[in-house]
């Protein structure tokens, strides 16, 4: 059965933690991109939906003003969102998201290379 | 039986983990200047941290969201960002003070210069964060911190005039030589030392790290409600030792050796050695907690993956943040700033920043969308509201008092 | 256009009078299947399961823009008090409610124009717009 639930962006969506399909944190929701029907730009008064979760540089725009070039804006498509609760859960693993490249870079080039960096702390004392 | 042992262990680590360099220094300074006339603030702070920590722990356990995620979600990126900058700075200051405290304590037993101990202490802190399991880390530091009971032993060995100590405490009667503004300045500092925000970041993130169940929640409430007040008694013992030995001698505390002077006088070398081990453990444990808290707060604000339960490579930015925080702390100490002075500053600014952390937790603890039927009850809310007023008053008063008294001098 | 552009935007009536600022943006979230609240609460009682393992979470589809919440007083965070049944702790609840008295929901179809080129962003409503209830 499909129904609708009213949610307010600030109250329920913005700044919520985004988790990937495995429950791993990805980012917090920094902004939401609005689109019109068929991916057209959103227009006042016409039908508008959330197209994507925006993360990263857009946070600085919201804090300090300015603009981010659309092409350099990390985004997570709204179609990848599975659940909305105290966190926003995706249906895809984070490895497939380009939104998380700093984490991956640090993992592969710095932290993962230090001895013990891939040691599972829960496995033993 | 296993359950009893579990609770006992939890309570003991809560006691040993309660006192950090902030409590140690502030209580000794206050005891040496005001006797026991500020004991009521310790009681106020202990009840406050019990309330605040158990609320933050409950929110984290039930909602799965730790404190700084809640702060950002409720305050929005701007106000939470300002809070992050303030909290991170205070946290860094506290971490600096704790690492400095470890070095000072090791200096007391080794006669090796503190400056040489600082990198050793920092490296040890990082190694534990990198490698040791969360629960092991918490338990070992907490249990060894229990050696601070030596302050209590020293107090009894000193055989003070208990009636006189009581007269200082109830009704609170500060020495006539002290100015009222200085009295209230140290009241705020003591309150800040007992209710440091990092303890709440640590406690709530720990609830997520350990994936608390309903059973854990009950057990941890017991740990907090029994352990923290007993830890508060340790704070009072530190102040009382100073009140008995340092106040009559007119010694104003400005170094760690003065803080432990009453212990040495009462119990000799053996007790002194035990207490110093306790100080090393307590400051080391608090250094771990503050380093973790710097990682927790930044990672939770930005939504990075965090936690000691993950392999370091699966929480890369979190581990990098902690390393940077530790290095910054070492850098600050290497400018030969006085760790005791850093400590005094950190507790006052803790009081200033407290409402920014306290209010979002209080609000979310009432939100059924987060908490289901685990929302605050009437008693907790009534107490929470009283503390809301206290926390705001202390925060507003802190800076004017600091200026008026020249930081208490 | 982003939600961040709309938040804190200045809202003007059809005649150019200032009505307030956008304090929040409301969406209708398609919920695919309803979570069973009772089962969730029962699971939380199970002493062996982490409390957070059964969070309230809706399986969702699209999110349609419904309207803008406009407050005549100030921008900034609401903490959600005037839109929900939440009443405690009362000092905070009272304060927030008072500060945001007169808040209304302007339907998105009543929005004539959004000008994002300047600062602050300007939202102009159509003639005969309706003031909806802000309650969720």
Taking residues B363-369, report their average pLDDT.
86
Whether A10 sits inside 8 A of B76 (CB atoms) is yes
Query: What are A87's strand-pairing partners?
Result: A17
> φ, ψ for residue C85 (rounded to 5)?
-80, -5
DSSP label at residue C100 = T
- Residue range B194-248, pLDDT digits in tens: 998 888 999 899 888 888 887 888 888 888 999 999 999 999 999 999 999 999 9
Residue A116, pLDDT > 70, answer: yes
Residue B247 tokens, joined? 């106040």
Q: Tell me the per-residue pLDDT of A54-102, one tens digit each, with 9 for 90 and over.
A: 988 778 777 777 777 766 778 899 999 988 888 899 998 877 776 677 7
**Residue B61, min C-alpha distance to chain C (Å):** 6
Domain boundaries, chain A: 10-113
ipTM of this complex: 0.88
- Is the pLDDT confidence value at B160 over 70? yes
C127 CA: distance to closest CA in chain B (Å)? 32
Mean pLDDT of B154-174: 90
Helical H segments across B335-375, by residue range: 339-364, 368-371
Query: Residue C73 has what pLDDT?
Result: 78
Q: What pLDDT is stored for residue A98 in this prediction? A: 67
| From A5-19, B281-295, B362-376, C73-87, the region with the lowest mean pLDDT | C73-87
Find the helix packing angle between B261-302 and B21-34, rounded to 10°.
140
Q: Where are the domains of chain C?
A: 3-125
Phi, psi of C76 (to 5 degrees): 85, 175
> With contact defined as beta carbons under 8 Å apart, do C107 and C132 qualify?
yes
Chain C residue with Cα closest to B70:
C79
Residues 60-99 of C with CB under 8 A from A: 60-66, 69, 77-78, 80, 83
Residue partners of A119: CB distance under 8 A and separation at least 6: B131, B311, B312
How far away is chain A from the Cα of C69, in angstroms, using its nearest Cα? 9
pLDDT band per the 50, 70, 90 thresholds, residue B182: very high
Q: Is 60 exceeded by the pLDDT of residue A125?
A: no
| Backbone dihedral angles phi then psi of residue A75, each to the nearest 5 degrees | -140, 155
In this predicted structure, what is the pLDDT of residue A117? 84
- pLDDT on residue C37: 58
pLDDT, average across residues A100-125: 79
pLDDT tier at A103 (50, 70, 90 boundaries)?
confident
Nearest chain A residue to B71 by CA distance is A15
Q: Yes or no: say if C30 and C61 are a contact pair by the CB < 8 Å rule.
A: yes
Tens of pLDDT, residues B246-271: 999 999 898 999 999 999 999 999 99
- Determine the Cα–Cα distance for residues C96 and C92; give it in Å rounded to an integer: 6
Residue predicted with more confidence, A63 or B317? B317
Q: Across all residues in chain B, what is the average pLDDT? A: 91
Average pLDDT (B275-301) is 94
What was the pLDDT predicted at C60?
82
Residues above pLDDT 70, as percent of chain A: 93
Measured between CB atoms, does C133 come within 8 Å of chain A? no
* Partner residue opposite B359 with nearest CB, options C44, C80, C92: C92
pLDDT, one tens digit per residue, over B373-389 is: 888 989 999 999 999 99
Enumerate long-range contacts of B271-274, CB under 8 Å, 24 or more apart: B271/B150, B271/B153, B271/B154, B271/B157, B273/B109, B274/B147, B274/B150
- Paired tokens of C70: 């406009």
Q: Could you tell me which residues are beta bridge partners of residue C68? A: C25, C106
The CATH architecture annotation of domain A10-113 reads Roll (2.30)
Selection from B18-32, B163-177, C25-39 with the highest mean pLDDT? B18-32
Residue A75, pLDDT score? 85
**Regions in chain C scoring below 50 on pLDDT:** none
> CA-CA distances (angstroms) from residue C31 to A77, A87, B367, C106?
18, 16, 21, 23
Q: What residue in C sits closest to B77 (Cα-Cα)?
A: C77
User: Before B171, cis peptide (omega within 30)?
Assistant: yes
Q: What is the dihedral of CA B398, B402, B404, B406, to 10 degrees?
A: 170
């Amino acid at each position: 059965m499909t129904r609708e639930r009213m949610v307010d962006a600030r109250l329920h969506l913005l700044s919520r933690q985004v988790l990937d399909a495995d429950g791993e944190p990805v980012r917090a929701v920094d902004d939401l991109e609005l689109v019109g029907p068929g991916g057209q730009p959103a227009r006042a008064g016409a039908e508008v939906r959330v197209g994507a979760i925006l993360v990263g540089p857009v946070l600085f725009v919201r804090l300090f003003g300015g603009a981010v070039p659309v092409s350099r804006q990390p985004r997570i498509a709204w179609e990848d969102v599975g659940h909305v609760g105290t966190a926003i859960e995706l249906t895809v693993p984070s490895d497939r998201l380009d939104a998380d490249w700093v984490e991956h870079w640090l993992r592969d080039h710095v932290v993962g290379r230090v001895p013990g960096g891939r040691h599972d702390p829960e496995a033993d004392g | 039986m296993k359950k009893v042992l579990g609770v006992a262990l939890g309570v003991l680590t809560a006691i040993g983990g309660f006192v950090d360099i902030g409590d140690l220094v502030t209580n000794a300074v206050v005891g040496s200047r005001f006797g026991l006339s500020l004991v009521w603030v310790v009681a106020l702070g202990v009840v406050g941290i019990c309330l605040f920590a158990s609320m933050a722990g409950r929110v984290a356990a039930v909602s799965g969201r730790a404190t700084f995620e809640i702060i950002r979600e409720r305050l929005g990126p701007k106000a939470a960002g300002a809070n992050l900058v303030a909290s991170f700075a205070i946290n860094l200051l506290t971490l600096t003070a704790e690492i400095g405290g470890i070095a000072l304590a090791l200096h007391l037993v080794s006669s090796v210069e503190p400056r040489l101990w600082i990198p050793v202490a920092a490296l040890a802190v990082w190694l534990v964060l990198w490698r040791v399991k969360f629960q092991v880390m918490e338990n070992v530091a907490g249990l060894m911190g229990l050696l601070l009971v030596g302050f209590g032993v020293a107090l009894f060995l000193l055989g003070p005039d208990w009636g006189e100590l009581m007269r200082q405490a109830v009704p609170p009667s500060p020495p006539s030589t002290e100015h009222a503004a200085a009295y209230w300045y140290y009241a705020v500092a003591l309150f800040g030392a007992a209710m440091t925000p990092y303890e709440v970041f640590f406690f709530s993130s720990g609830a997520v790290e350990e994936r608390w169940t309903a059973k854990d929640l009950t057990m941890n409430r017991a740990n907090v409600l029994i352990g923290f007040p007993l830890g508060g008694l340790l704070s009072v013992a530190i102040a009382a030792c100073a009140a008995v030995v340092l106040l009559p001698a007119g010694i104003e505390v400005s170094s760690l050796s003065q803080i432990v002077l009453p212990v040495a006088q009462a119990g000799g070398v053996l007790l002194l050695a035990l207490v110093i081990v306790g100080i090393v453990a307590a400051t080391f444990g608090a250094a771990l907690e503050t380093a973790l808290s710097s990682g927790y707060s930044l990672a939770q604000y930005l939504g990075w993956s965090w936690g000691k339960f993950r392999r370091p490579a699966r929480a890369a930015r979190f581990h990098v943040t902690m390393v940077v925080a530790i290095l910054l702390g070492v850098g600050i100490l290497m400018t030969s700033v006085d760790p005791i002075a850093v400590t005094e500053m950190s507790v006052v600014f803790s009081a200033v920043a407290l409402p920014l952390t306290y209010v979002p937790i209080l609000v979310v603890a009432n939100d059924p969308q987060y908490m289901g039927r685990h929302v605050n009850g009437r008693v907790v809310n009534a107490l929470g509201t009283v503390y809301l007023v206290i926390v705001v008053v202390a925060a507003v008063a802190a800076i004017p008092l600091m200026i008026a008294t020249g930081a208490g001098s | 256009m982003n939600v961040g552009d709309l938040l804190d935007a200045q809202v003007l009536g059809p005649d150019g009078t200032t009505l307030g600022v956008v304090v929040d943006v409301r969406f209708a979230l398609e919920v695919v299947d309803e979570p069973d609240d009772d089962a969730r609460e029962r699971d939380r009682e199970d002493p062996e399961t982490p409390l957070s393992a059964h969070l309230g979470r809706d399986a969702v589809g699209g999110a349609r823009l419904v309207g803008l919440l406009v407050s005549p007083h100030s921008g900034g965070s609401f903490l959600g008090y005037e839109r929900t049944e939440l009443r405690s702790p009362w000092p905070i609840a009272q304060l927030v409610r008072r500060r945001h008295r007169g808040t209304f929901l302007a339907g998105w179809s009543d929005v004539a124009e959004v000008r994002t080129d300047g600062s602050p962003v300007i939202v102009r409503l159509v003639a005969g717009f309706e003031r909806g209830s802000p309650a969720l």
